[in-house]
């Protein structure tokens, strides 16, 4: 995917409060140090994400050109829709195969997916409204804010322009924090590992294009494909 014309990397690092992105990371790590009784609390599971949105708000209040820094410029919407749709279809097909074929063949029981909060909602609520809303919020949090701010901090570590643009430490860190988000782990159990390569792919695309629409649309399309396919498969198998 060819990157769209964008401002120099240096200009995007001139911001205040990028270190606020470290707060949800610390909260996620702290969660796994808590006793099991506290880890089971829903509010505790959501704490890192809530802290992330608070940090995002504080960061936005102290910086200018927030829309551009997040990668939400209007001029990027058309390309974001096109590439996001294609990426979402590819990842949706791949991850559906992993969930319905690979995981069961490895001995994992995926029937718990019938009891997740997402499975309890009507299909017409989930598709496309709820899934699209989640994709928007999650991508603003994990790619637009978390990855973007970590990349801003990492910029100072590298002399190579390619390393500065790729931001490997920020990319890997944000993908792992995404995959090990407490709510993600508790809801999807062993399937949360899929979020590692999703986070790496969406993050790499964002770093390459600075277009958050790609990640939002890819996230939404992928989850819709997986949700409908897995729901249909489990309905047939367990009825």
pLDDT tens figures, 56-97? 999 999 999 999 999 999 999 999 999 999 999 999 999 999
Lowest-confidence range among 27-41, 90-104, 156-170? Answer: 156-170
Mean per-residue pLDDT over the chain, rounded? 92
Check residue 233 and give its pLDDT. 94
Separation CA 103–CA 196 (nearest Å): 16
Burial of 106-143, coded b for 16+ CB within 10 Å and e otherwise, reads eeeebeebeeeebeeeeeeebbeebbbeebbebbbbbb
Separation CA 162–CA 124 (nearest Å): 44
- Nearest by Cα to 148 from 44, 32, 6: 6
Q: Are 87 and 214 in contact (CB under 8 A)?
A: yes
Separation CA 54–CA 48 (nearest Å): 10
**Is residue 11 scored above 70 in pLDDT?**
no
**Is residue 29 scored above 90 in pLDDT?**
yes
**Is residue 125 scored above 80 in pLDDT?**
yes
- Nearest by Cα to 77 from 237, 189, 214, 172: 214
Q: Are 59 and 145 in contact (CB under 8 A)?
A: yes
pTM, two decimal places: 0.91
Average pLDDT over residues 23-34: 97
Q: Are 4 and 210 in contact (CB under 8 A)?
A: yes
Cβ neighbours of residue 238 closer than 8 Å, sequence gap 6 or more: 111, 114
Lowest-confidence range among 13-27, 121-135, 150-164? Answer: 150-164
- Quick one: residue 167, left, alpha or beta (phi over 0 = left, psi -120 to 50 = alpha)? left
Lowest-confidence range among 15-29, 49-63, 159-173? Answer: 159-173
Check residue 236 and give its pLDDT. 85
How many CA within 13 A on the CB side of residue 171? 18
Q: Are 80 and 3 in contact (CB under 8 A)?
A: no
């Amino acid at each position: 995917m060819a990157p769209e014309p964008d401002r120099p990397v240096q200009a995007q690092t001139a911001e205040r409060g990028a270190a606020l992105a470290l707060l949800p990371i610390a909260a996620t790590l702290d969660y796994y140090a808590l006793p099991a009784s506290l880890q089971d609390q829903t509010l505790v599971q959501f704490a890192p994400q809530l802290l992330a949105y608070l940090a995002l708000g504080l960061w936005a209040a102290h910086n200018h050109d927030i829309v551009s820094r997040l990668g939400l410029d209007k001029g990027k919407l058309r390309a974001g829709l096109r590439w996001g749709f294609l990426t979402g279809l590819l990842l949706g097909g791949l991850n559906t195969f992993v969930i319905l074929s690979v995981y069961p063949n490895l001995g994992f029981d995926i029937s718990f997916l019938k009891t997740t909060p997402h499975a309890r909602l009507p299909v017409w609520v989930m598709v496309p409204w709820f899934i699209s809303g989640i994709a928007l919020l999650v991508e603003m949090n994990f790619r637009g804010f978390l990855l973007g701010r970590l990349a801003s901090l990492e910029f100072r570590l590298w002399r190579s322009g390619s390393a500065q643009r790729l931001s490997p430490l920020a990319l890997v860190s944000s993908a792992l924090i995404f995959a090990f988000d407490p709510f993600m782990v508790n809801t999807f159990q062993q399937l949360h590992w899929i979020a590692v390569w999703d986070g790496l792919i969406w993050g790499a695309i964002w770093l390459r294009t600075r277009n958050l629409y790609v990640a939002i649309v890819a996230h939404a399309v992928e989850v819709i494909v997986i949700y409908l396919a897995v729901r249909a498969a489990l309905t047939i198998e367990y009825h």
